[in-house]
Amino acid sequence: MTLALDQTAFREALSRFASGVTVVITRNANGSAVGFTASAFSSLSLNPPLVLVCLQKDADCYDAFMQAERFTISILAAGQEGIARRFATKGIDKLDGTPVALAPDSGLPRIEGAAAWLDCRTSSQPDGGDHTILIGEVVAAGATAAEPLLHFKRTFGRFEPA
């Protein structure tokens, strides 16, 4: 028996979970870089090194990610709210004017100035309701001294130690 859930209450409850903000990028069949903003991101396994990120099935870049063998994840830094908003916008060239560096082995863009980055090989893509869960095997990673960008109660912010 499935219980009816108030979607507003569900969304409000989830908005209370502070999370980091990531931009995930791959290339489509034409070779153009495409991507999306995600706060639904997590480490999954240390051995092998796996992460997961959730992609909404109606995203503009959905088909590209379903075909992708590789993708990059940039963990955004404080001050990169504009990049997060840009990659959350449908119907635009998200990389136009976005500062990126290319990963040496895959040639995929990483967001410059990000707090960290992960280069991934697609491992699996299980169903997740209205999302698909992209599981990536991390093949390269790096971090900077930058403070992370956080998302909480539908707004961006910074981490403040307790």
Q: Indicate if the pLDDT at residue 149 is higher than 80.
A: yes
Q: Which domains can be identified in the chain, with CATH numbers?
A: 19-152 (2.30.110.10)
Cβ(44)–Cβ(50) below 8 Å: yes
Q: Are 57 and 131 in contact (CB under 8 A)?
A: yes
More confident residue, 144 or 39: 144
> Residue 162's pLDDT is what?
85
- Distance CA(128)–CA(77), nearest Å, equals 27
The per-residue pLDDT for 17 is: 74
Give the mean pLDDT of 86-100: 94
Instruction: Inform me whether the pLDDT recorded for 2 exceeds 70.
Output: no
Residue 61 binned pLDDT confidence (cut-offs 50, 70, 90): very high
Q: Does pLDDT of 59 surpass 90? A: yes
Which residue, chain included where needed, has tokens 């990483």?
Answer: 110
Q: What is the mean pLDDT of residues 82-93?
A: 95
Mean pLDDT of the 46-72 span: 97
Question: What's the whole-number mean pLDDT along residues 93-107?
Answer: 93
Residue whose entry in the numeric block shows the structure tokens 């599981």: 135
* Strand (E) or helix (H) holding 152: strand 150-152
Mean pLDDT of 21-27: 97
Q: Alpha helices, DSSP H only, in 3-135?
A: 7-15, 62-67, 81-87
